Structure 1
C-alpha cells in the first residue's frame, strides 16, 4: 500500500521533471528509446503537426525492453511511427545507444553523417525524464537549442498505463537522484532543485523506493 505522503512526493517529482516547454518547429526530433511506445506516438503526432521534417529514433535494448522490443527500441519506435503514417524517408534509426548520453552522442553522429543541418531539436522522452534528458542534451550538444516534449498526461494516467505504481515511483526517484548527482560527474548540466523537491526525493528514498537508484557514496543522506 502506497501512503498518501508517498503519492504527494511522487507528484512533486513528476511536476519538477517536466520542463513545461511548448513544442515549436525544430530542425529535427530525437525520440529517446525506452519501454514506452508513447514516445513514438508523441513523436509521430509532432511530425504530423509540422514540428519537424526528420526524426531520429535512438535506442538498443535493455533488461526492461529485450523481451518486449527484441529488434531494438529504435526499430520498434520506427515501426510504430510508420503505422501512424510517418513516411519512411522521414525516419532515421540509431540502434546502439544504451543510455541517455549515448542517445545524444550517437544521434548527433548519425545526423552529421547524413549532413543534416541542426540548429534546434525537439527532444521527446517519457514524461518523468524530460528534465534529465534536457540536462544531458545541453551538456553534450550545447550548440543547438533543445525543446523538451513528452506525452501530455497526469501521473495517475501514467501509473495506469504502466500498471505498477511502485515501479513508476521507483523510476521517478531514480530520475531525480540522477539530476542531483550526475552534474558533478560531468554527465549533464546543473538543474537547481527546489528544497521541497529534494525533501520529497529523500522521503521516497528512505521509504524504500530505491530499485532504480544508482550507487553513490557521496550522496547526501
Structure 2
C-alpha cells in the first residue's frame, strides 16, 4: 500500500476476504486443449499461464484483452499484448500464443477468443480459463453461457488474499473491484 492510499478497515478487509473465497472455484487443473489468459491489470495471469504451459498442460494459449479500463497506464498497448510479451520472457514460445486484442469485458474475452481459435482451426473440447483469483467464478459462468459446448476449468495464481493484495500493491483498488 502506498503512503497516499487511505487505510482499509478491518471490516472491509474481512468482507473482501469472504467475497474472495467465494469467487475462487478450486478446480483441479489438468491437461486441456487450450488455455485462455483473460486480460486484466494483473501480471499474475501470464506468469501462471507460463507456469502451466511449461508443465505441459496445454499447447495453445490465447491472451485476450484490449486496453485496461481500470489501469490504462499499466498496459498502454493492451492487456493481451503485454501478457504475451511477459509470457515470452518466461519461456512460452511465440508459436504457442494467439492474441485477441479487442475485448473489454469477460463476455468479449470469451466470444473473441473463441473466434480467434476458430480462425486458427482449433475447436477445443476442454478450455482452461486463467484469470485474476477473484474473477474465476464470473469467467466460469460467462463461458458456460457463451460457449456451452466446451468443458471449462478455471484457475489463477494460488495466492491467499493478503498475498494477492501485496502482489498488486493497491489494496483499495483490489477491494473496490
Q: 1:45-194 to 2 correspondence within 5 Å? A: 45-171=51-177
Which secondary structure state, in structure 2, belongs to the residue aligned with residue 29 of structure 1? strand
- Tell me which residue corresponds to 2:12: 6
Answer whether contact 2:64 2:101 (CA < 8 A) is retained: yes
Whole-Å Cα distance in 2 between the matches of residues 99 and 4 of structure 1? 30
Does the CA-based 8 Å contact 1:29-1:52 persist in structure 2?
Answer: yes
Scaled by the length of structure 2, what TM-score is found? 0.93
Aligned CA-pair RMSD: 1.1
CA contact (8 A) 2:49 2:130 kept: yes
Match of 1:19 among 25, 45, 65: 25
TM-superposed deviation, 1:17: 0.4
Gaps of 5+ in 1: 172-221
Could you give the per-residue CA deviations for residues 155-196 of structure 1, whole angstroms, max 9, x where no partner exists?
10111122222221111xxxxxxxxxxxxxxxxxxxxxxxxx
- Per-residue deviation, 1:4: 2.5
CA contact (8 A) 2:66 2:102 kept: yes
Which is greater in Rg?
Answer: 1
Count of residue correspondences: 171
CA distance in 2, matches of 1:2, 1:37: 23
Q: Which runs of 5+ in 2 are unaligned?
A: 1-6
TM-score by length of 1: 0.75
Bigger relative CO (Cα 8 Å, ≥ 6 apart): 2
Q: Cα deviation per residue 1:17-53 (whole Å; 9 max; x = unaligned)?
A: 0001011000000000111111000001110111101
Equivalent residue of 2:66, what SS? coil
Residue 57 of structure 1: CA displacement?
A: 0.2
